[in-house]
Amino acid sequence: MSPELKYKITACASLLAASPLDEEIKNTILENVGGMTESDIDKIISALERETFELSSLSEVLTKFDADQVQNWESLEAKQKEAADALIDETFEKITTNSISAE
């Protein structure tokens, strides 16, 4: 086995270890990697690298979405508090005005 092929098999194993793929799939690949062509190993490595990239991109999108949601909820909470405070002030003003004029 050439050093390059050994390197590719090691890279494949490393990517598989980090992959969220089902363990049975990972084990099947690892058990059969010795009988695969170098081209097949290259395809698996490429797919696993794309998976890593896509999951990383998805993580960034979800992190941003989560931060936006927190900010939106905080903004909504502040607006609702302002509206509630205004309603309380208005109601209090009406009650005190009616109470004073009734005397």
Would you state the structure tokens that stand for residue 74, as one six-digit string?
């905080």
pLDDT of residue 65: 96
| Stretch (H or E) spanning 2 | none
pLDDT digits (tens, 9 = 90+) for 46-81: 999 999 999 999 999 999 999 999 999 999 999 999
Residue ranges making up the domain that contains 34: 3-102
* pTM (2 d.p.): 0.66
The Cα–Cα gap between 12 and 30 comes to 9
Question: Which of 14, 35, 39 has the alpha carbon at shortest distance from 26?
Answer: 14
Q: Which residues contact 42 (CB under 8 A, 6 or more apart)?
A: 8
Q: Which residue, among 15, 9, 7, has the nearest Cα to 55 in the 3D structure?
A: 15
Q: How many domains does the chain have?
A: 1
